[in-house]
Each structure stands twice: as structure tokens, then as C-alpha cells.
Structure 1
Amino acid sequence: MSPQPFGQIPAYEDGDISLFESGAIVLHIAERHGSLLPTNEIARAKALSWIFAALNTVEPPIVEREYVKYLEAEKSWQTERFATVDKRIRT
């Protein structure tokens, strides 16, 4: 049985642990390897904030740009959509 209930990637298996969703996978790996997350409470909280920022703020417009690149190729509006998405990425 696939660890990804929606049949998508990412999926991660580590022994008896089956995970899906990037954030869960990154957090699991970071917690298992002491050098990836700070032990200081404040620094750890900041690092976790950046994990969530990457997933919820940074990643969505980048994924949208790939959508425009591949699924809207040769559409009359692709250039304008690239401009809109690129502006959102830079902001």
C-alpha cells in the first residue's frame, strides 16, 4: 500500500513509518537527525517557522509557475500569467 493516500508524490517510507506531505517528511527527517534542527527553543521555533513558510508561502507560487510553464504552454495568455506569477514570487 502506498504511503500517499492520494497517489501523489512526495511519499516517504522509513521502516514502519510511512509519511506523505512535504512538511511531515521534512519535519520527521529533521527531528531524527539532531544537526538539522536547533536544540535551543527559540532557534528551533524560528527554524520550524521557516519550514511552514516554505510550504505555505514560498512553494505555492513556484508550483503555480510550473503549472503555467507546462500546462499553459502555447496559450495566448501565458506571457501575462508568467508576469503575474513571477511578480508574486518576487514579492
Structure 2
Amino acid sequence: MMGKEYKQFLSVGIDIGADFSLMAVALPSQELLGKPYRILHSSQHSLDGAIERIKNWSKQYKLPVRIFMESTGIYHFPMYYKLKEPALTPTF
């Protein structure tokens, strides 16, 4: 029986809150990259900063990204729709 092949990726975890969210990024080895990043939902600059961090780490480590976040009422919508934009998909 063949074993399942697992592809490595960056894990981006986002804890959604009413006014802000906290994002942490980990390598496949579970080593955290940097410190948790606070994302203010009311700030486009803050949302864009989170996206740039994700894209930069993805490019630096040459790994695809998987984003894990909870759907918390309506509070997750700003992050969800921003992260879903096709222009954010990194290319190598």
C-alpha cells in the first residue's frame, strides 16, 4: 500500500476578533516566523500589511500557503474577502 504524499506549506493561523485579528505564520517544522501580527479590521493598511507578510514569507521559503481561520459571525469577512483576491496568489 502506498503512503500518502504530503506537500509542505506555510501555515497561516488567524484568530478573528470583533475589532482586530491576530495572525501567526509557521513553517512545516512548526517554527513560528516572527511575532504574531495584529490586523486592524478598520485599516486597509493593516490588512495589506498582513497580505504582504504572507506573500514575502511564501516567496522567501518557496512554499505555498494554507490559511486557517475561524468563521466568527460577520467578523471574519474583511480578512476572508481580502485573502480570496486572485492577485494575492504567489507565483514562483
Higher strand share: 2
TM range (shorter): 0.3 to 0.5
When normalised by structure 2's length, the TM-score is 0.32
When normalised by structure 1's length, the TM-score is 0.33
Higher helix share: 1
- Bigger radius of gyration: 1
